[in-house]
Chain A
Amino acid sequence: EPEVTQTPSHQVTQMGQEVILRCVPISNHLYFYWYRQILGQKVEFLVSFYNNEISEKSEIFDDQFSVERPDGSNFTLKIRSTKLEDSAMYFCASRDLRDSPLHFGNGTRLTVT
């Protein structure tokens, strides 16, 4: 069964550094998402992306965050200058049709020291 794949599985970075989290959504999917989950808490929406542009973003997704689909397969989340509170699991998700369910990757655990 097709999967959403995310790399790396764990990223450790120093405060103030830039990080890029990578995702390969399921190949025929059209809608792409990033969610965040701080340890022990709920899954929080960051941003949705459709037709090569951001369709919606939350208040968490401030100017430090950006997303890109640089080619036909990758979908990336960049955090320009990481803060301690950015430490969390970051999940990429995708879906094919407007009302179809989300399929999640296994996440990247970001640790900011």
Chain B
Amino acid sequence: GQQLNQSPQSMFIQEGEDVSMNCTSSSIFNTWLWYKQDPGEGPVLLIALYKAGELTSNGRLTAQFGTTRKDSFLNISASIPSDVGIYFCAGLKGQNFVFGPGTRLSVLP
């Protein structure tokens, strides 16, 4: 099947640090999305990527669509307490989005 892997599974960082996480697959995807999920809520879209090699920013967040189309990366600069949550990548193949297992981010003050 079309599986997505995310690493790390979880991370603890100090407020103000930069964060990097990635999403990989054995399959090619045409679109990559990054979402953040807070407890008890639905995933909220952070960044959408549509072309291999594309680098897109949204405030302190930057994401890249890998050139092989099998991976994507999300960076968060100067983390703040409200960055806490689970970050999911999702890849589009056909009409269906497949989600990774998530990276759980904890920010220590």
Interface residues, chain A, with chain B CB atoms under 8 Å away: 4, 31, 33, 35, 41-45, 48, 50, 55-56, 91, 98-107, 109
User: Does B48 make an interface contact (CB < 8 A)?
Assistant: yes
B45 touches A103 (CB 8 A): yes
Q: How far is the CB of B39 from chain A (nearest CB, A)?
A: 10
Describe A's contact surface by its main secondary structure. strand
B98 touches A45 (CB 8 A): yes
Interface size on B, residues (CB 8 A): 24
In the complex, the chain A residue whose C-beta lies closest to that of B43 is A104
Residues of B within 8 A of A98 (CB): 95
B43 touches A45 (CB 8 A): no
User: Does B73 make an interface contact (CB < 8 A)?
Assistant: no
Interface residues, chain B, with chain A CB atoms under 8 Å away: 30-31, 33, 35, 40-45, 48, 50, 88, 90, 92, 94-102
Q: How far is the CB of A34 from chain B (nearest CB, A)?
A: 12
Contact among A42, A48, A101, A109 for B102, CB-based, below 8 A = A42
Beyond contacts A42-B88, A56-B96, A102-B90: 11 other A-B pairs, Cβ-Cβ < 8 A, are: A33-B97, A35-B99, A45-B96, A45-B98, A48-B95, A48-B96, A55-B95, A100-B48, A101-B31, A101-B48, A107-B40
